[in-house]
């Protein structure tokens, strides 16, 4: 595995750390591919009971690495691998949690939003500033609108503003706000608690929640994927 992604195991929980601190853990193609493959491995590994995603300080994830866009800046195509990653996490039969140790922005906020629980540092900020860069953010819409409602989703997506961790918690994007130095500890504790339930029961409960909440989310997800727009 490339050193842009670190993997450790604690009490059966795989901790995946995005490790590009100089780039605020922006998702390069290599990092994104490694993360998708490690998440898939964790979900299919009998010895792994849960997964926690976090970032090397000072950020959780700044989203896609814009330095990898074509030099002429004509396209803002989100790699299919990101869609696969988000859908894998969203439908995972095992607990997947986000330990948001710093800012979760754009694609980073999308990863956080599809996790089962998100534990954040008080200093963290969350948002979708794509519009300020001449980009759209359809990838997160099926999840964001369900989590925070139409009015708040509009504000986040149309202004590009970043929310504080406390405001994001109040809005329903984050489950718990804690001191920075205990973010990972709390996330691991929650992961162990969730994984202590019978695996079949957890998977079935999560599937039923999705079926009650979503009307053919895969079709909606594919529709939003098709709405990626060229950069002006």
- The residue-averaged pLDDT of 155-164 equals 95
Region for residue 11 given its phi and psi (left: phi exceeds 0; alpha: psi -120 to 50; beta: otherwise): left
Average pLDDT over residues 90-113: 96
Q: Which domains does the chain have, with CATH numbers?
A: 5-181+197-226 (3.90.226.10)
Whose structure tokens read 């670190």?
6
Residue 135: band (very low, low, confident or very high) from pLDDT cuts 50, 70, 90: confident
Residue 97 has pLDDT above 70, yes or no: yes
Phi/psi for 44 (5° steps) reads: -105, 0
- What confidence score (pLDDT) does residue 231 get? 52
Is 227's pLDDT higher than 70? no
pLDDT classification of 73: cutoffs 50, 70, 90: very low
Q: Which helix (H) or strand (E) holds 43?
A: helix 29-44
CA-based nearest residue to 75, from 232, 222, 230: 230
By the 8 A CB rule, do 103 and 190 touch? Answer: no
| pLDDT above 70 for 153 | yes
State residue 2's pLDDT score.
Answer: 58
Q: What is the pLDDT of residue 186?
A: 97
Query: How far does CA 41 lie from the centroid of its chain?
Result: 17
pLDDT on residue 72:
47
Q: Would the pLDDT of 226 be above 80? A: no
Contact between 148 and 137 under an 8 Å Cβ cutoff? The reply is: no
Q: What confidence category does residue 184 fall into, taking pLDDT thresholds of 50, 70 and 90?
A: very high
């Amino acid at each position: 595995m490339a050193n842009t992604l670190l993997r450790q195991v604690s009490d059966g929980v795989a901790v995946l750390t995005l490790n590009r601190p100089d780039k605020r853990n922006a998702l390069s193609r290599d990092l994104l591919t490694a993360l998708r493959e490690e998440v898939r491995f964790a979900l299919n590994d009998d010895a792994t009971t849960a997964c926690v995603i976090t970032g090397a300080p000072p950020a959780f994830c700044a989203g896609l690495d814009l330095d990898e866009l074509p030099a002429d800046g004509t396209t803002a195509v989100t790699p299919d691998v990101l869609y696969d990653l988000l859908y894998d996490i969203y439908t995972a039969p095992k607990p997947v949690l986000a330990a948001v140790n710093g800012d979760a922005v754009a694609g980073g906020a999308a990863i956080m939003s599809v996790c089962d629980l998100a534990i954040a540092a008080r200093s963290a900020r969350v948002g979708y500033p794509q519009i300020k860069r001449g980009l759209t953010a359809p990838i997160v819409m099926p999840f964001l609108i369900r989590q925070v409602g139409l009015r708040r989703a509009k504000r986040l997506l149309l202004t590009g503003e970043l929310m504080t961790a406390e405001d994001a918690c109040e809005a329903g994007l984050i489950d718990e706000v804690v001191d920075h130095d205990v973010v990972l500890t709390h996330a691991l504790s929650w992961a162990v608690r969730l994984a202590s339930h019978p695996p079949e029961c957890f998977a079935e409960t999560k599937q039923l929640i999705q079926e009650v909440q979503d009307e053919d989310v895969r079709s909606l997800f594919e529709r939003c994927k098709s709405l990626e727009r060229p950069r002006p």
